[in-house]
Copies of this chain bind each other. A is one copy, B any other.
């Protein structure tokens, strides 16, 4: 199993104006906008710009509504937004009820009756998929008699709804009002490695441990409704052991001396049938996954088996590769890239492909994952000085657990912190937090992922100068409790408690 979240940084605009009205109030139906102990409340990740004022509003369960603004290009037929309204309404009032039910009714703060959601561009993209170039900006204004969330596309509106929900059901002291300005975005990516075509024999179990086409569709739609992209990774020529069980001749037979040992190595790069298979395979993949990108892998190719195989040796001689098996790897990858190019998808590859000098299309995204801090910074400098876009993962391998507050290390790593020009820095399109599955399954996935992935999220989303670790601790602690309230078993950052603890096993 492989789970990988990707955060890609895009520029966008957020802004809003301040608001008035506040103090504690309550009973079941009422909640208000008040802040927690960070001056930014429990906002996570922090928008690029937030402006506070000392007033707030109350919200009333029975009357508060999230509605389409009259001018909006997305109306009641946009089920993506309607779903999101319902989802956030439930978050806001269900959690608010839990927080406030013990307190009495008070008068005082003014009431906020509506959040109007206004999609401003002619095409709301309601029925589309988010992409690497999607406009995910939003602008949230909280003021009487209604709040307004303006966004060019539905993707920004989803983020704005999350921000709005994070401003509600606070406790502690007074008020918060907000001014949001230009900010950054984080779409998540989900990767798969198994697929029905090969899963009958390659999966742990052909019925219980595969993604059926219906599963894949469901995941993609679930993600789309939340503005999340799903990018498949099919990692060749290595990482393909399970493929061989369902596809004869795809893998290289390894030799022990002059005879086949019975074991198999990476994809066999010298057979035409390999490329026929890959053509058909990636054609199907490119149809199933709507995203404009495919991740082609290319990492960790072990040459031992290739070296043992006499047919491969002969091919190396014919091609004049000498004993340089990375040339054979490049030979394979270049043929693969040509195949994938015909699908009109963009592609990402792991850094080894770049390191080995494979010829790449200029718009290839190079995925950096190896080495210590100095090494990955050098790699980022090399990749970007060659003019390629890059995505960083090295400091964000969430599967590599250690004792203590490792979220701080994730939080501090900056993907643009390497020697290079401003031009080079702009080629860093973001980072990816990876949670590889060697020691993870449904029993421990969620608490291992959250809130550690949230730390990465803010680094990739918020302004460069949002680095106050103690403020981050306060907000992230509150954000973690909010996830727990939403029934996500996010683990504690440190000794602490939540007003409403996780009720699971």
Contacts and interface: CB of A to CB of B under 8 A. Distances in A.
A128 B489 CA distance: 38
B441 A494 contact: no
Interface in A203-241: 204-205, 208-209
A491 B446 CA distance: 12
A134 interface: no
Contact of A497 (B401, B441, B505): B441
B505 A444 contact: no
Contact of A440 (B438, B442, B492, B497): B492
Contacts of A205: 497, 499
Interface in A467-505: 484, 487-497, 499-505
Contact of A204 (B444, B487, B497): B497
Contact of A446 (B439, B492, B500, B505): B505
Contacts of A399: 403
Contacts of A322: none
A493 B487 CA distance: 26
A447 interface: yes
A494 B1 CA distance: 11
A489 B501 contact: no
Contacts of A442: 489, 501-504
Contacts of A447: 443-444, 447
A437 interface: yes
A77 interface: no
Interface residues of A, number: 41
Q: Tell me whether chain A's interface is mostly helix, strand or loop, or mixed.
A: loop
Nearest to A205: B497
A144 to B, nearest CB: 35
A402 B403 CA distance: 7
A453 B474 CA distance: 32
Contacts of A489: 442-444, 505
A412 interface: no
Contacts of A500: 208
A400 interface: yes
Contact of A491 (B443, B490, B494, B502): B443
Contacts of A487: 505
B505 A208 contact: no
Given A399-B403, A497-B204, A441 B505 contact: no
A202 to B, nearest CB: 13
Contact of A501 (B208, B440, B488, B492): B208
A454 to B, nearest CB: 14
Interface in A151-176: none
A490 B401 CA distance: 17
Interface string A380-405: 00000000000000000001111110
A493 B440 CA distance: 9
Nearest to A489: B443
Contacts of A441: 491-492, 496-497, 501-502
Given A208-B501, A209-B497, A444 B491 contact: yes
Given A447-B444, A489-B444, A504-B504, A495 B438 contact: yes
A237 to B, nearest CB: 20
A204 B487 CA distance: 21
Given A439-B495, A444-B492, A447-B447, 6 more contacts: A403-B439, A440-B491, A443-B504, A444-B444, A446-B505, A504-B504
5 contacts: A404-B439, A439-B492, A442-B501, A444-B444, A447-B447
